[in-house]
Amino acid sequence: MRLFGRKSQPVDPAEAIADFWTWWRQTRPEIDAYIEAENTEALSELVGAAVTTLDPALIWEIAPGRTAQHALVVSASGDPELRSFAHRWALAAPPADDLWEFHPSRQANPRAAEMAVDVAGREFGLDRLVLGLRVPPGTARVDVSAFHPIFPDIDDETRLETTLLALDWLLGEDEVARWVGDIVAAEFEPIDAIPAIHLPAVVADVADGFKADQWAVLEGQTAQGARLTVAARYPLRPVDHPLFDQHIAISLPYEHADGDGQPSGASLPALRAFEERLGERLDKLGSAVLAAHLSTGGTRVLHVYADPSSDAALVIKELVLSWTEGRARVDVSDDPSWSAVAHFLT
């Protein structure tokens, strides 16, 4: 059974989440009765209205559970502005039992090969879905071109939505966000296409090549033409840190710079020592991550993302007092889509 609901305008979080779970506990007998009677229409109206009250832009579904009979999935559907909200909703959920479990994103279905749904009056089954796959050299992404025999007969939007649903069945929604790059829902079968069921193995091979704590070094220019150097985690993806929607920018002016405004001399070890101390404190907190740092024009800006309920901002403000090469600054803002480091997201 798959049930979906979607509307359009967000509301405010913590209270809405608490209200939802109060409603769930009170309404659970009615929900279970509709499940038992397979009354999908009444269930859809009941749960759909509650999710809309939670936030109208969320989507939801009831799917087979991993350990429970059913899973209630409430998902941001790839919207970075809502991802942390969906995860906080799941964290506040009651413990799973024999009948219900709860997830903030669609989970991979171990029986994906057997899945079939009605799409525009035609049967869409994964057993007939094939994929053209390409892994651009040096990237942490698999580009996908999908084809199914019904695709020539349905419109572009429906074709793409059906492809995205199939990828979620195969990998799970978060794994799609991590490892899948460009997605094309094709009207013609790609050359060298393979059965879709092999996608998880291909993604696992790509993931093996990208371990934690890798960094990429980049160079460029500012809008004024000054040299800019960047070090960023690689791969760098907000989906890996769904609760870290607070952006903390640390600006460190350095005394010793070369002709291009890059740190030199005694400033280099001073910056490294600061980053080591920062890393130690963030590791201890366990609720923040240094995503990237940029150096240009005599200043290094370090971009940290944190859970806003943690003490990360306070810890960082205390740490910058130790910086002696100029007046350091700390700016704290909400940034659930990680827009401050958008150029380095992979």
Q: How many domains does the chain have?
A: 3
Give the side-chain half-sphere CA count within 13 A for 322. 12
Q: What is the pLDDT of residues 197-208, one digit of tens each?
A: 999 999 999 998
Confidence band of 209 (pLDDT split at 50, 70, 90): confident
Average pLDDT estimate for 136-164:
94
Query: Tokens at residue 257, please?
Result: 């710079």
Q: Which of 287, 308, 305, 297 is nearest to 344 (CA)?
A: 305
The CATH number linked to 277 is 3.30.70.240
pLDDT at position 181: 95
Choose the final residue of a domain: 103, 123, 154: 103
Q: What is the pLDDT of residues 14-37, one digit of tens each?
A: 999 999 999 999 999 999 999 999
- Structural domain contains residue 251: yes
- Structural domain contains residue 8: no
Residues 70 and 88 reside in one and the same domain? yes
Average pLDDT estimate for 180-195:
96
Residues 332 and 238 reside in one and the same domain? yes
Domain that holds residue 244: 215-344
Confidence band of 86 (pLDDT split at 50, 70, 90): very high
Residues 6+ apart with CB under 8 A from 180: 141, 142, 143, 144, 167, 171, 203
- Structural domain contains residue 277: yes
Residue 13 phi, psi dihedral angles, 5° rounding = -75, -75
Average pLDDT estimate for 324-337:
96
- Structural domain contains residue 98: yes
Share of the chain above pLDDT 90, in %: 85
pTM value is 0.88
CB 340 within 8 A of CB 249: yes
Residues 239 and 314 reside in one and the same domain? yes
